[in-house]
Amino acid sequence: MALLEARGLSKWFTPERPAVADAGITVQSGQTVGVVGESGSGKTTTARMILGLVRPDSGSIQFDGVDLLAAGRAERRALRARLQLVPQQPRSSLNPRLTVGASIEFNLRAHGWARADRRKRVAETLDAVGLPPVFRSRYPSELSGGQIQRVAIARALATEPRLVVCDEAVSALDKSVQAQVLNLLVRLQAELGVSFLFISHDLRAVEHISDEVAVMYRGRVVERGATSSIVQSPAHPYTQLLIDSIPGSRRPNGPRQPPSQVL
């Protein structure tokens, strides 16, 4: 059984066209799946539906054997420890008045961890993301972009989740720091066995981290499969556009099509 199985997800915010239309995402245990597409493609809305932040107009979501759309409030609350988020703007998601250690402990306390276990877990997660113990007492304003992103990852991992959704988790970082954070996620996935749903507009980042990829365009998943196969032999014109837009791309394919002709 898949860890996450989302089928037929649709969401309308305006009557003109759906934000997401009949989208499906599957993540196996211990797997990283990338969802790539331009701004407005529906990838973040899809992620928010999976996280329970937006309710789909239609479709189904099974996570860890539980029907998320049918689950009651108490059951969904219990599941949150196993389904965590690394947001696009982690600095704004952290309370500036709390130290790094207190922010991570706050997440643990919300999920019922005892005080002694919380302090130990903070130390473990900071070490896992490559931050020394001194960072426990630092405030968000004292951290660089790369450091704050590592804190966000540590906070997400603290509750020992089975799946972490990374929503544009490296888009605000410069290229060298992006590479460091991507390599960190790859290492954590290998060491901890945690699964990632990696949302990004950057196909290069998705290619680096993902076992499989789903390509979204105008609210629909237009192509999905093993990352290497998608990158080497894209079947959909929009996927071809994404690959051709990568600097240095040498894909020997036919002429490009403008986005208006993709669907």
pTM, two decimals, is 0.90
pLDDT tens by residue, 200-218: 999 999 999 999 999 999 9
Q: Specify the pLDDT at position 54.
A: 95
Q: Specify the pLDDT at position 258.
A: 40
Q: Maximum distance among all alpha carbons in the chain?
A: 61
pLDDT by 10s per residue, the chain, length 263: 899 999 999 999 998 899 999 999 999 999 999 999 999 999 999 999 999 999 999 999 999 999 999 998 888 888 889 999 999 888 888 999 999 999 999 999 989 899 889 999 999 999 999 999 999 999 999 999 999 999 999 999 999 999 999 998 888 788 888 899 999 999 999 999 999 999 999 999 999 999 999 999 999 999 999 999 999 999 999 999 998 887 765 554 443 444 444 43
Q: Specify the pLDDT at position 249.
A: 59
